[in-house]
Amino acid sequence: MKRIQVEAKKYIFRKGDAANGVYLVISGQVGIFLPSNSGEKPNFIVRENELFGEMGVVSEQSRMANAQATTECDLLFVSREEFDQMVEGSHVVVKGVLRILADRLWSAQVAKK
């Protein structure tokens, strides 16, 4: 795990990037822009103590949206390897539920296109 500071308006990741980890917002706000959004207003705002970037890591897919700091942010980054180690220690049912949820969310987003 490592702490990352991001300036306002900087991209954290973009659609199509490899899903190399999960982020926790320590302070600040991150805007999530879905592929159908060509405007300047994010579809979702991720705030303090919230996670983002988890879908690609759980489903092993590339990033499906853009994540951009809407304010100066302090983030905690958990790499895919670290996340996999955490999940590996979980019960098989927990692992299954995570994958199913991620697949369903991914499918729902793809169906909207």
77-107 pLDDT, tens digit per residue, is: 999 889 888 878 777 888 788 778 777 776 7
20-59 pLDDT, tens digit per residue, is: 999 999 999 999 999 889 888 999 999 999 999 988 787 7
Range of the domain at 9: 2-112
Cα Rg, the chain, nearest whole Å: 14
**For 75-88, b where at least 16 C-beta lie within 10 A, e where not — what string?**
bebbebeebeeeee
Q: 104: part of which helix (H) or strand (E)?
A: helix 92-112
**pLDDT over 70 (residue 112):** no
Closest CA to 44 of 53, 17, 60, 16: 53
Query: Cα separation of 55 and 26, whole Å?
Result: 19
Domains held by the chain: number? 1
Sign of CA dihedral 88, 89, 91, 97: negative
Looking at residue 13, which CATH number applies to its domain?
2.60.120.10
